[in-house]
Amino acid sequence: MPSIFTRIIEGQLPGRFLWRDERAVAFLTIAPIKPGHALVVPIEEVDHWLDASPELNAHLMAVAQKVGAAIQTAFEPTKVGLMIAGIEVPHVHLHLVPIHELHDLDFSRAISDPAPEMMDDAAEKIRIRLRAAGHTEVAD
């Protein structure tokens, strides 16, 4: 059975995409800890990051750096935190969260029902920064 992320990637479920290339996508999470909280997900369904090939992990990290740089310029946090938790969905995904304090990575602080306008605005801010950096993989 396809993971929820595969269903989003294939367009069966909606997603606010930021990036799409031949191996990975990035989209906003539906329950952000902070506005701009994004996920980098391989198109290939792999449950645990330890099971992904070194090449796929390297590609995911490269995408995370590019999307993370866009989040940094769009939201001006102290840092963009990166976390690989993988408990809630059995499909590798990297969380990119604009943070000011360590507690900004606490999933209990997630916004369970974010305003669609806030989500659309966050997605567009990140896409604008990705385009400005010359990335052609920006998803619309």
63 found inside a domain:
yes
What domain count does the chain have? 1
Angle between helices 54-75 and 116-132 (to 10 degrees): 110
140 found inside a domain:
no
What band does 86 get if pLDDT is binned at 50, 70 and 90?
A: confident
Mean pLDDT of the chain: 96
Sequence-distant contacts of 52-61: CB under 8 A, at least 24 apart:
52/92, 56/23, 59/23, 59/24, 60/24, 60/92, 60/94, 61/94
137 found inside a domain:
no
**Residue-range definition of the domain harbouring residue 75:** 4-132
Please report the pLDDT score of residue 32 as a whole number. Answer: 97
Please report the pLDDT score of residue 139 as a whole number. Answer: 86
Average pLDDT score over residue span 8-33: 97
Cα–Cα dist 73/18, whole Å: 15
92 found inside a domain:
yes
108 found inside a domain:
yes
The enclosing domain of 101 has a CATH number of 3.30.428.10
138 found inside a domain:
no
Task: Give the CB-side neighbour count of residue 83, counting CA atoms within 13 A.
Answer: 18
Active site residues: 93
